[in-house]
Amino acid sequence: MEYSQKVMDHFMNPRNVGEIAEADGVGQVGNAKCGDIMKVYLKIENDIIVDAKFKTFGCGAAIATSSMATEMIKGKTLEEALQITDRAVMEALDGLPPVKVHCSCLAEEALHAALWDYAQKTGRTIDGLQEPKKDIHEH
């Protein structure tokens, strides 16, 4: 199995690891198949994601996609962040081996869960956002 240099870089030196103490949105999702878990913390000001951090108890591909996804959403509006799919994150990492493609879903789903949490707390609606699942079963 071959990992791209970008995947290795984000796995060895993950960006944005940690927690945000007074996060505006928090989301956690687990992958029911492998048991891996990702938690995302967002700081949101004027509809812009000004900071994002994560904790991923998971495989290298899950950590690398979590790292890249949090990098990609910083500075984005809520709607823009919603457009950043697992596929886009994977492309930014120059791909993942086929058996690890499902791992990238964790970051996307946890991000959606954090956006959902923010929307619930503030009474805001985010176009295109649906209530996320707590566990991913497919992929």
Q: Which residues are catalytic?
A: 34, 103
Per-residue contact string for residues 75-114; x = within reach of ligand FES by CB under 6 A: ----------------------------x--x--------
d(CA 29, CA 38): 6
Cα angle 107-113-118, degrees, rounded to a multiple of 5? 130
CA dihedral over 49, 54, 16, 59, signed as positive or negative: negative
Report the residue number, 64 or 78, with the smaller CB distance to ligand FES: 64
Residues 19-78 that bind ligand FES (CB under 6 A): 31, 34, 36, 58-59, 61-62
Q: Which residue has the tokens 């791209």?
A: 4
Q: Which residues bind ligand FES (CB under 6 A)?
A: 31, 34, 36, 58-59, 61-62, 103, 106
